[in-house]
Structure 1
Amino acid sequence: MATPTMRLGLRAFRQPQLLRQPIRSTQRRTVQTAAGTIEAPVVQESALTKFYNSPIGPKTVHFWAPIMKWGVVLAGASDFLRPASQLSITQNMALMATGAIWTRWCFVIKPRNLFLASVNFLLFSVGAAQTARVLSYQRSLKGETMGEEIKDELKREAGLVEEVVKNPQSVIDAVKGK
């Protein structure tokens, strides 16, 4: 007759916790107590196993989100090679706002993810630098100060938002290509 440890069969697949146990090497160590000497198991994990099983390891979204977000940071940084006249101020302001909001959020969520916070901070930095480049370029064309340029840009954006709110069908038609 088979022992319970030999009879894994398909039951192993019905119990996913058996498959997700970390690989550990156990040793015994002796501990002195008032009642006498006892042997206690010592769990030793390698650094790679600790990282793999951590709450921000590669088995979680907390690891893969920053990896994927580096693509956005690198795309924004590649725009440093383009002239400021070809950059979109709204796109770079969106990068700046996204980076600032999500950097703050990375310190609020549990587990706190400093890797994701660093990526978002760099996203904010790239967006801020590109926005400053565009505003500086536009200011040099008009001969205005930076404050006047920002006010003009915000008025233009507010006008676009008002137009969308008043006539949302025009946006749908524009997307459909009518």
Structure 2
Amino acid sequence: MATAFMQWAKSPEARNYFFSTHFWGPLANWGLPLAAITDLTSKDAKFISGPMTLALMSYSLVFMRFAWRVQPRNYLLFACHATNATTQGLQGARFLQYNYGGSESAKDKVKDAVITK
């Protein structure tokens, strides 16, 4: 299998792929899901923005469809946005749990935030 990959990597098709936006665009886009994964493990849920999380998840769902419909299919872009949509969904669940699912009501949190400012 490694030999077959190396043969392909030396071909003109591989060079065309690696020097195209079909490769570099999705590769640059991986910053979004990597940041979301990092935030899942290291950031407190109080810093999550609900509207931004929803916007990023919606954006990724739209571009997942685009990556699937474009010809030839862009699997790297699809995987990037599938990962981002999943991690943003998890962030959204954390946001909802923190703001609406805890023992302290959302009104008390807002009132405390206003009083301390």
Pairwise TM-score range, normalised by the shorter structure: 0.7 to 0.9
Q: Normalising by the residue count of structure 1, what TM-score does the alignment of the two structures yield? A: 0.51
Provide, for residues 56-95 of structure 1, a one-character-per-residue CA deviation record: whole Å limited to 9, x for no partner: x111100011110111111111111111111111111111
Computing the radius of gyration from Cα coordinates, the structure with the larger value is 1
Work out which structure has the larger RCO, using CA pairs closer than 8 Å and 6 or more positions apart in sequence: 2
- Paired residue type of 1:98: Y
CA distance in 1, matches of 2:15, 2:47: 45
Q: What does 1:34-45 correspond to in 2, within 5 Å? A: none
Amino acid across the alignment from 2:23: F
User: How far apart in 2 are the matches of 1:90 and 1:64?
Assistant: 28
Quote the residue 1:18 is aligned against.
none
Pairwise CA RMSD: 1.8
The normalised TM-score by structure 2 is 0.75
Alignment of 1:39-78 (within 5 A): 46-50=7-11, 51-54=13-16, 57-78=17-38
**Which of the pair is proportionally richer in strand?**
1
Which residue in 2 is equivalent to 1:36?
A: none
What residue ranges of structure 1 are gaps of 5+ in the alignment? Answer: 1-45, 144-178
| 1:128-147 aligned within 5 A | 128-139=89-100, 140=102, 141-142=104-105
Asked whether 1:101 is paired with 2:62, we answer yes
Count of matched residue positions in the alignment of Structure 1 and Structure 2:
97
